[in-house]
Structure 1
Amino acid sequence: MDLEKAYSNVIINKRLLLFDLFGAGTETTVHSIRWLLQHLARYQEAQSKVRRELLNVLQEKPPNMDDLAKGGYTEATIAETARIRSIVPLGFPRYARKDFCVDNMKIKKGSLITPLQRVALGDSHGSQKKLRDHGTFNFKLTIVAVIG
């Protein structure tokens, strides 16, 4: 009887874990899309450019993975939204597989690394502050970074 109860608890815990994972992913996606829509509503020029690009790339067909390479301005818009309105401030922790350096700082193999989204999205050590305000929607540098 105890074995049956333990098995039942494992099944319940797995279901709850799956619910948490899907719920968290859905909530993050919803909030990201809300921020994107808010910024597009506020910045009409960006909205027009994204709309023109999507109409040109998609041409009334459903989007697919091949379309990603053709949507540079749209990708930059999404990246800029993530930069100024990061939903998750920290990335997933990782362990360094080998010794390496970042900005003259030595990271040893086995070190735990937790990436900061703001840094990963181009605002490293506040170096971009002179060029763009963290709370201002600004595509100039993001477009250069994404499109090349």
Structure 2
Amino acid sequence: MTRAQFDLWDGNHDGKIQREDIQGEARRVIGAFGESESTARGRAVMSGYEGIWDYLTSQAGGKNALSREQFEKVSENNMNGGSDGWDAVMRPHITAMVQLCDRDGDGKPQRAQFSNWLKVVGAGVDAATVLDRFDTDHDGGLSAEELCEALKTGDGTLEFSLLG
């Protein structure tokens, strides 16, 4: 996870991330897709964000707030593509985000849906470029599995900011 991710998640800009910051970001993302956190999609996304928070804080010794330095250290050590934390925490989060932005229910956000996702989370990457590179079955969309594998490789083209 990156410096930009910390800045995005530090919702009240106090130099630390707390559970309330993570929940606020989840609510913002959910709302941007016209969902409520009470829907199945909304609950899954909220759970994904909270899962990331719970995992990161457990790896930081149970802290209830993470400074930028703590966040970056714990993220780097525990959330890279080869860690147990990645599969346990990031895969469910990515799956929930894919379901949230997949407005037509086909299991794969298409170019316009994926582009909207990138705008909502402020990823700063081009949807067409990402789709062209990581749509391994060339059907014009990214499944949760395709996206997980692309992010897990640690290729550098996609950053965690893509995830919200």
With structure 1 as the length reference, what TM-score do the two structures score? Answer: 0.34
Larger Rg: 1
With structure 2 as the length reference, what TM-score do the two structures score? Answer: 0.31
